Amino acid sequence: MNEATLQSALSSPQNLGEMTDADAVGTVGSPDCGDMVRMWLKYKDQDGRKVIDKASFQSFGCQTAIAVASLATELIRGKTKEEALLMSAEELSAPLGPLPPMKIHCGQMVEGALKAALEAESNTTSKSTILENRATGPTLADSLSAVGKTAGKIKIVMHS
Ligand code: FES
């Protein structure tokens, strides 16, 4: 793993924090470690294509998860939903180099949060519904405490 890239992503994480005008939000927790990442997406029209204008994240996660989430929010800008859906955890964490085996799930958790946000947008009929869901949904802390230590790789947290 590239320690210099990791440290620079951690010392000044990009796009950290809730996005109040987001079009979609996705949250994923890892039963492996109890960590969690939430990602917000905002779209825009560009040359007739709907692309990701910006993304932000919050993380109760380890340093690797924070670094990958920070890198991912930069990498997906300007991509369409379809293009972003094709991005694997390996691609999102590529600037860090190969992750050690015990840290692979950290990248997968970020990929899961991104895909949850991408799917949330496509499955919801109106922006106002998404925002309403987000406003009334559980806080990240609530969601984190609900993750528990269940079986499986990642757990999608539904926004009620
Ligand atoms: Fe679980 Fe990194 S140790 S997300």
Q: Residues 20-79: pLDDT tens digits?
A: 999 999 999 988 889 999 999 999 999 999 999 999 999 988 999 999 999 999 999 999
Helices (H), the chain: 3-11, 63-75, 81-85, 89-92, 104-123, 127-136, 140-147
Give the domain CATH number at 72: 3.90.1010.10
The count of structural domains within the chain is 1
The alpha carbon torsion through 64, 70, 75, 76 (nearest 10 deg) reads 110
Residue 50, in any domain of the structure: yes
Distance 35 CA to ligand 1 centre (A): 6
The reply to whether 155 falls in a domain is no
pLDDT band (50, 70, 90) for residue 123: low
Is the CB of 33 within 6 Å of ligand 1?
yes
- Yes or no: say if 36 and 29 are a contact pair by the CB < 8 Å rule: yes
User: Does 104 sit in the ligand 1 pocket, CB within 6 Å?
Assistant: no
Residue 33 maps to a domain: yes
- Domain range for 72 is 3-142
Q: Active-site residue numbers?
A: 33, 106
Residue 152 domain-assigned (yes or no): no
Residue 29 lies in a domain: yes
Q: What is the pTM of this model?
A: 0.78
Instruction: Tell whether 151 is covered by a domain.
Output: no
